[in-house]
């Protein structure tokens, strides 16, 4: 049974359904923060399930929901990793619980990267196509339009797309072009720089390629494990890569192992430089805690990668030298 009702009529309708025993249960949609409908349904003794959650409610109730905060944290973090600092959020009504959780995830991701919150780029309202269109047009016509937009629903995203089309812009091209090209080129160059002490073309090229391939770790974020989308920025991952690379391509190729590790440091270094400082879960999956770097720390991290490669080169050359002497 589908019942459409205005918000002011809900209480009367629920009481009428209970009095007539007209339904065996109710699905409560669109819960608000501290939604009093939950308390009312409990008092009426109508079985119900909430599609979502209601923060602040002290009532016992069954609910079905996704992790809205974590989802929007990861979405915002992904855009930050691409080099974006001006990220807009077109969200639902602020009194809706899901919208509050999504806003929390968005703000938390920006704060983790020391990016200031710009209230002029946060919109709340009915998640309709015209709402998405108007918000986007207003931002594009402002003095400081965002470089990326997060939409709270596919309907809103359709409005965003129409606004971009009307302005002659393309998603993934005009909106992301400058950040993505800078991101890719920078990682390749930094990756090649750390391998320069090897003085070997194949290691330098391999290091540059590996440094940019690290961002492919974002493809596995859909498994829903916290921070797995940034596994490539972890020392644990670096150690695993060394073992795998040396096993596949030669157990005695020490340079291959060390450039795999150094390329990860170069990747982190450029992310710090591009973001003006950044935070990384360096010990994922053992720990989800983040280590924060300041803007100038990129040089220290990059130099560390170069010194590691240089140290291994000296050790290997000394080993070869003494082996020749013994012969």
pLDDT at 102: 94
Residue by residue, DSSP assigns 187-243 as HHHHHHHHTGGG--HHHHHHHHHHHHHGGGGGGGGGG--TTGGGGGG-HHHHHHHHH
Going by DSSP bridges, is the β-strand pair 87-91/122-124 parallel, antiparallel, or unpaired?
Answer: parallel
Q: Is 4 helix (H, G, I), strand (E, B) or coil?
A: coil
Q: State the Cα–Cα distance between residues 137 and 114, nearest whole angstrom.
A: 27
- Residue 42, pLDDT > 60, answer yes
Q: With contact defined as beta carbons under 8 Å apart, do 113 and 278 qualify? A: yes
- Best CA proximity match to 62, nearest among 51, 76, 71: 51
Confidence of residue 18 (pLDDT cuts 50, 70, 90): confident
Confidence of residue 103 (pLDDT cuts 50, 70, 90): very high
Helix and strand numbers (H, E) in the chain are 11, 8
- Extract the tokens encoding 213: 């391939």
Q: Count CA within 13 A, CB hemisphere, residue 47.
A: 5
Q: Name the residue with higher pLDDT: 233 or 257.
A: 257
pLDDT at 286: 75
- Residue 89, pLDDT > 60, answer yes
Burial degree of 139 (CB within 10 A; 0-12, 13-18, 19+):
buried
- Single pTM value for the model: 0.58
Q: Find the radius of gyration of the CA atoms of the chain.
A: 26
Q: Mean pLDDT across the stretch 49-54? A: 90
Q: Name the residue with higher pLDDT: 243 or 202.
A: 202
Q: State the Cα–Cα distance between residues 193 and 270, nearest whole angstrom.
A: 11
Q: Is 286 helix (H, G, I), strand (E, B) or coil?
A: coil
Lowest-confidence segment of 52-56, 138-142, 294-298 by average pLDDT: 294-298
Lowest-confidence segment of 60-74, 231-245, 284-298 by average pLDDT: 231-245
Enumerate domains of the chain plus CATH numbers.
Answer: 7-64 (3.40.50.2300), 68-166 (3.40.50.2300), 177-320 (no CATH)
- Extract the tokens encoding 243: 């073992």
Reported as a single tens digit per residue, the pLDDT across 164-182 is: 989 888 776 555 433 345 6
- Extract the tokens encoding 217: 């770790």
Q: How far apart are the first and last CA of the chain?
A: 90
Extended strands (E) in the chain: 26-29, 48-51, 62-64, 87-91, 122-124, 148-151, 278-280, 291-293
Burial degree of 34 (CB within 10 A; 0-12, 13-18, 19+):
middle
- Extract the tokens encoding 327: 């012969």
């Amino acid at each position: 049974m589908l019942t459409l009702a205005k918000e002011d009529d809900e209480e009367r309708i629920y009481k009428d359904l209970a009095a007539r025993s007209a339904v065996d249960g109710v699905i409560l949609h669109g819960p608000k923060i501290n939604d009093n409908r939950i308390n009312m349904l409990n008092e009426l003794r109508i079985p119900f399930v909430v599609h979502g959650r209601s923060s602040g409610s002290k009532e016992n109730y069954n609910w079905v929901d996704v992790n809205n905060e974590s989802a929007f944290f990861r979405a915002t973090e992904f855009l930050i990793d691409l080099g974006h600092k001006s990220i807009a959020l077109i969200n639902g009504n602020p009194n809706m619980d899901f919208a509050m959780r999504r806003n929390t995830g968005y703000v938390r991701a920006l704060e983790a990267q020391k990016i200031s919150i710009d209230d002029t780029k946060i919109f709340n309202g009915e998640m309709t196509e015209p709402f998405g269109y108007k918000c986007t047009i207003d931002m594009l016509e402002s003095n400081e339009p965002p470089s990326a937009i997060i939409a709270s629903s596919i309907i809103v995203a359709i409005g965003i797309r129409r606004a971009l089309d009307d302005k002659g812009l393309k998603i993934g091209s005009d909106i992301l072009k400058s950040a993505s090209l800078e991101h890719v080129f920078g990682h390749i160059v930094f990756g090649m720089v750390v391998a320069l002490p090897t003085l070997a073309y194949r290691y330098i090229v391999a290091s540059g390629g590996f440094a940019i391939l690290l961002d492919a770790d974002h493809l596995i974020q859909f498994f829903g494990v916290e921070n797995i989308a940034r596994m490539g920025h972890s020392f644990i991952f670096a150690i695993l890569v060394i073992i795998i690379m040396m096993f596949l391509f030669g157990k005695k190729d020490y340079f291959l192992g060390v450039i795999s590790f150094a390329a990860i440091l170069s990747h982190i270094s450029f992310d710090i430089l591009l973001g003006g400082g950044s935070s990384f879960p360096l010990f994922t999956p053992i720990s989800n805690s983040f280590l924060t770097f300041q803007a100038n720390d990129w040089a220290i991290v990059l130099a560390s990668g170069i010194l590691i490669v240089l140290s291994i080169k000296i050790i290997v050359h000394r080993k070869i030298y003494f082996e020749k002497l013994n012969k």
